Amino acid sequence: MRGRKFTNKQYNYSHYIMEDLTKGEAMIKAGYSVKASQHPARVESSDGFKHAMMIVASETGKAYQSMLKEIETRDMSKETTDTLLKGIETLSKAWERFLPKEKQVSNDDDLTRVFARVIDIPSPDNTNE
């Protein structure tokens, strides 16, 4: 079978699910009905949605590589710690979306906290200490 293996709604949902929306909100924004939005597992278990998510993962990976190349050329000493931590947190949240729930790390082990310990600064949840 050649060509796309997913519908426009499935593709749009795969993009909107990456935003800070509930699954139902993402489905409605993608064009699904309110009734359909109450059962996101039906869409998420379809081969079309899985294929669309592979496309999104590929697009995200390419964007991630471009950002890393840009970051490698910058003088990191000019960046604030807050900016660096926000960047790490954003990237880790985006990649979390692609991991199965059983493979996701707990909040105690997320990248922000790991890097906060490595560069000897307080983690984001301990800034008032």
pLDDT tens column, 100-112: 555 555 554 455 5
Same domain, 43 and 22: yes
Q: In the chain, pLDDT over 90 holds for what percent of residues?
A: 25
Q: Quick check: is 129 in a domain?
A: no
Residues 33 and 55 in one domain: yes
Using CA atoms, how far residue 24 sits from 16, 27, 29, 36, 64, in Å, is: 10, 5, 9, 8, 27
Write phi, then psi, for 121 (nearest 5 degrees).
Answer: -130, 160
Q: Are 14 and 28 part of one and the same domain? A: yes
Is the pLDDT confidence value at 84 over 70? yes
**Does residue 54 belong to any structural domain of this protein?**
yes
95/38 same-domain check: no
- Identify whether 24 is part of a domain: yes
Over the stretch 25-38, which tens digit does the pLDDT of each residue have? 999 999 999 999 99
Please enumerate in sequence order all residues whose Cβ is within 8 A of that of 112, keeping only pairs 6 or more positions apart, or say none.
Answer: 85, 88, 89, 92, 123, 124
Same domain, 80 and 69: no
Residue 68 sits in the same domain as residue 85: no
**Do both 25 and 85 map to the same domain?**
no
pLDDT at 92: 75
Same domain, 54 and 15: yes
In the prediction, which pLDDT does 83 show? 82
Please provide the DSSP assignment of 33-86 as one string: -HHHHT-HHHHHTSHHHHHHHHHHHHHHHHHHHHHHHHHHHS-GGGS-HHHHHH
What does the alpha-carbon distance between residue 117 and residue 124 come to, in Å, rounded to a whole number? Answer: 11
Domain membership flag for residue 96: yes
Please report whether residue 115 resides in a domain: yes
User: Is there a single domain that holds both residue 67 and residue 43?
Assistant: yes
Which is more confident, 129 or 74?
74
Is residue 128 situated within a structural domain?
Answer: no
Q: What is the value of pTM for the model shown?
A: 0.55
105 and 88 belong to one structural domain? yes
- Averaged pLDDT, 40-49: 91
Range of the domain at 20: 1-73
Q: How many domains does the chain have?
A: 2
